[in-house]
């Protein structure tokens, strides 16, 4: 029997509901149960909510460069501390520009830079069959989106994010602590999901 729990700090409702969908897709009771214990906040919150589990912080770039860099730095500091003290991991799981693009990658490719936080909304409405005025962050619409996501879609999103990173130019690269980052579109969320799926045998 496989049991795994992660403690995840989520920037917002989209991230939290997405993790709940992933847990649902991975559940094969009683053989396999993956749990994400979630709370709202940024990586700073992990300093207070240190747990005996592997930890992750899901957050967006949102064109807030200083805050983004600070969030990654906090995750890296906590990772070093956690590995020293209890051998547990702390993962940064960011989306640049934001998690809306991650939802798009579950269904199709998208590899162009954008200049605003709302640049993906029309594509999400089209891909997931929402009306033109739909608020994609509203809970009922989020449920419509997430209910259309399968485990195969999650694998495809990971693969597409890997491809986005593989095509990046050296000139687009910047370092935060020991982490290699790129201008948008970019992710580390896919790396966290890859670890989750690999660990339970789905990749």
Q: 20, 7, 11, 5: which is closest to 142 by C-alpha?
A: 20
State the DSSP code for 28: B
pTM of the model as a whole: 0.96
Torsion of CA 101, 102, 107, 109, to 10 degrees: 60
pLDDT for position 50:
63
CB 107 within 8 A of CB 127: yes
CA distance 167 to 162: 9
pLDDT for position 47:
86
CB 42 within 8 A of CB 15: no
The stretches in the chain having pLDDT less than 70 are 50-51
Question: Which tokens go with 48?
Answer: 């207070």
pLDDT for position 48:
80
* Radius of gyration, alpha carbons of the chain: 16
Question: Which tokens go with 45?
Answer: 């919150």
């Amino acid at each position: 029997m496989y049991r795994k729990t992660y403690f995840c700090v989520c920037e917002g409702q989209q991230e939290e509901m997405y993790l709940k969908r992933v847990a649902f897709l991975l559940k094969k009771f009683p053989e396999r149960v993956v749990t994400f214990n979630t709370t709202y906040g940024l990586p700073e919150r992990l300093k207070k909510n240190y747990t005996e589990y592997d930890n992750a912080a899901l957050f967006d770039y949102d064109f807030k460069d200083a805050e983004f860099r600070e969030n990654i730095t906090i995750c890296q500091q906590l990772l070093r501390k956690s590995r020293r003290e209890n051998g547990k991991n702390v993962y940064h799981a960011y989306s640049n520009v934001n998690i809306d693009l991650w939802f798009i990658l579950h269904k199709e490719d998208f590899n162009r830079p954008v200049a605003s936080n709302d640049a993906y909304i029309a594509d999400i409405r089209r891909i997931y069959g929402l009306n033109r005025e739909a608020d994609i962050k509203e809970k009922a619409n989020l449920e419509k989106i997430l209910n259309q996501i399968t485990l195969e879609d999650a694998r495809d999103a990971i693969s597409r994010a890997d491809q986005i990173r593989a095509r990046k130019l050296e000139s687009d690269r910047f370092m935060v602590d020991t982490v290699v980052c790129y201008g948008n579109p970019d992710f580390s969320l896919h790396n966290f999901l890859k670890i989750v799926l690999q660990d339970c045998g789905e990749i």
